[in-house]
Structure 1
Amino acid sequence: MSDLPARMRRAVPEYRADATAQECMGAILEFVEAVTFADPDELLVALREVIGEHWPGLPPYARNLAYRMVCLQRPDDVDLLREAAADLLAFGPDWDDEAEELQRRADLLDPRP
């Protein structure tokens, strides 16, 4: 079983209230490394699990990186592109342009009414 959900949780400040700044930075670096090399299925399961536990808890940088890595590995997964776009829009407006691009790509692959 993957430890990716645990690494994600350790990168969330709310889960680490008693941690030092150095421990938090280490957890973030560990998270980035794990996400960078994760299998897309494993990454999606972990992402959805952690977000499901505490939706706003996973910081936008972590969500964006995780969704970006999965979308790069599955560029033609329409549902994933739409899911990632919706997540970006929830934390905008900084990422609205990227969200609109993901939605545009999804619509080109599968134009739903």
Structure 2
Amino acid sequence: MLDVMLEEDWMGLPVWARNLAFRLACLQRPEDVELLRVAACDLHAFGPDWDAIAAELHRRADRLEAGQDVSLP
């Protein structure tokens, strides 16, 4: 669903719904580097309120790519 939303109608979901969808997806696939990066970029697009969470998702993706152990917060 997220892939379709991003390709067809980027603003099709309200911010609260897209954030919830990305959170659920990240909980289901916590080691998916690509998903973490897409979620982080999406959060960055909606203002400074989400920047800290987006930065943490980027750091987590970087650690996973580097092969470091990443525990969920």
Do both share a fold (TM > 0.5)? yes
What are the superposed Cα offsets for residues 30-58 of structure 1, whole Å, 9 maximum, x if unpaired? xxxxxxxxxxxxxxxx1221232221231
Partner of residue 25 from structure 2, selected from 57, 62, 70: 70
Q: Which segments of 5 or more consecutive residues in structure 1 lack a partner in the other structure?
A: 1-45
Residue in 2 that maps onto 1:30: none
Residue in 1 that maps onto 2:46: 91
Q: How does 1:1-113 map to 2 (within 5 A)?
A: 46-111=1-66
Q: Determine the C-alpha separation between the residues in 1 that align with 2:46 and 2:14.
A: 10
Task: Compute the displacement of 1:110 (Å).
Answer: 0.8
Q: Which is greater in Rg? A: 1
Task: Compute the displacement of 1:94 (Å).
Answer: 0.9
Q: CA RMSD in A?
A: 1.1
Q: Which runs of 4+ in 1 moved over 3 A?
A: none
Instruction: State, as a whole percentage, how many aligned pairs show the same letter.
Output: 62
SS state at 2:48 partner: coil
Q: Which segments of 5 or more consecutive residues in structure 2 lack a partner in the other structure?
A: 67-73
